[in-house]
Amino acid sequence: MDDIKSYHDIIYQLSFTSIYSLIVYVYVETHCLYRLRRLYILILIFHRKSMQNSRKI
């Protein structure tokens, strides 16, 4: 009986942490989306330039 109870506690904790991490993820996404998008575009541009440079060589 105790095993089942601890098992349910573990599942409850896991679901709680996953919900919490989802909330944090959504908050971070909405809060930092603009910066992340800029950074992502910069990385894409840099990556394309490096690819073009490697083709020239």
Percent of the chain with pLDDT over 90: 0
Pairwise CA distance, residues 6 & 14, whole Å: 12
Model confidence at 49, pLDDT cuts 50, 70, 90, reads confident
- Both structure tokens of 34: 């603009």
Distance, first Cα to last Cα, the chain = 69
Which residue is it, tokens 């060589």? 57
Domain ranges of the chain: 19-48
Chain centre distance of CA 5: 32
Pairwise CA distance, residues 11 & 5, whole Å: 10
Output the pTM of the full model. 0.35
